[in-house]
């Protein structure tokens, strides 16, 4: 089974498991996540590989991290994620990407990401649930972070934090790649 097939199968089982544990019907989860019921059916039957935006919306609606939705199996209390297991969920032809490095439920979803944005590239994010915070540390280049319509320039070696309940965009307006680490904390939906 290929990595993509394994991810699709894991996502199918985990969405179904968390939806059932939360007592949500397909219609209720679709409404809460803002995705169609037919998309959820395709995901739960492992017939589609949804976009990262769709997976984020479903995770937010269920109150679990992307790591939890993509987890191959329940692991031990300490989980080591090798470089090969980091999941690349977004990329561009120019070479920009993000990788989910690790995540946990503590008490809500907590995720750590590795990002690279090539010159001229950007990635937009829909609002996360109220109380979601992001911490960003730029390790190379300069990040232009747009939150609430305002641009914030974060140079290498600097960090930023913000409540991510409004639409936001990560951009590289410079001439060199922007690299950064990001941690996202989503409040529990319980």
For residue 107, what pLDDT is reported? Answer: 65
Residue 27 is predicted with a pLDDT of: 95
Q: What pLDDT does 72 receive?
A: 64
pLDDT at position 75, please?
41
Ranges of residues in the chain with a pLDDT under 70 are 1, 72-82, 102-107, 189-190
H/E segment holding residue 178:
strand 178-185
Angle formed by the axes of helices 52-62 and 37-44, to 10°?
A: 90
71-81 residue pLDDT tens: 765 444 455 56
Q: Is 3.40.640.10 the CATH number for 83-185?
A: no
Q: How is the chain split into domains, by residue range?
A: 3-70, 83-185
Residues 9, 46 contacting (CB under 8 angstroms) = yes
CATH of the domain spanning 3-70: 1.10.260.40
- Phi first, then psi: what are they for 113, rounded to 5°? -125, 150
- Which residue is listed with tokens 């492992």? 46
**pLDDT given for residue 90 in this prediction:** 86
């Amino acid at each position: 089974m290929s990595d993509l097939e394994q991810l699709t199968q894991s996502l199918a089982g985990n969405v179904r498991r968390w939806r059932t544990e939360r007592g949500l019907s397909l219609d209720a989860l679709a409404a809460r996540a803002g995705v169609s019921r037919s998309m959820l059916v395709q995901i739960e039957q492992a017939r589609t590989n949804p976009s990262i935006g769709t997976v984020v919306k479903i995770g937010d609606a269920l109150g679990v991290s992307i790591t939890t939705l993509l987890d191959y199996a329940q692991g031990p209390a300490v989980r080591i994620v090798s470089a090969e297991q980091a999941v690349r969920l977004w990329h561009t032809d120019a070479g920009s990407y993000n990788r989910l490095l690790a995540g946990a439920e503590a008490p809500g979803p907590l995720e750590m990401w590795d990002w690279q944005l090539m010159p001229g590239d950007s990635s937009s994010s829909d609002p996360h649930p109220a109380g979601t915070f992001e911490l960003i540390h730029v390790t190379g280049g300069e990040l232009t972070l747009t939150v609430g319509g305002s641009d914030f320039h974060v140079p290498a070696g600097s960090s930023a934090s913000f409540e991510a309940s409004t639409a936001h965009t990560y951009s590289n307006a410079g001439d060199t790649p922007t690299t950064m680490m990001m941690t996202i904390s989503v409040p529990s939906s319980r």
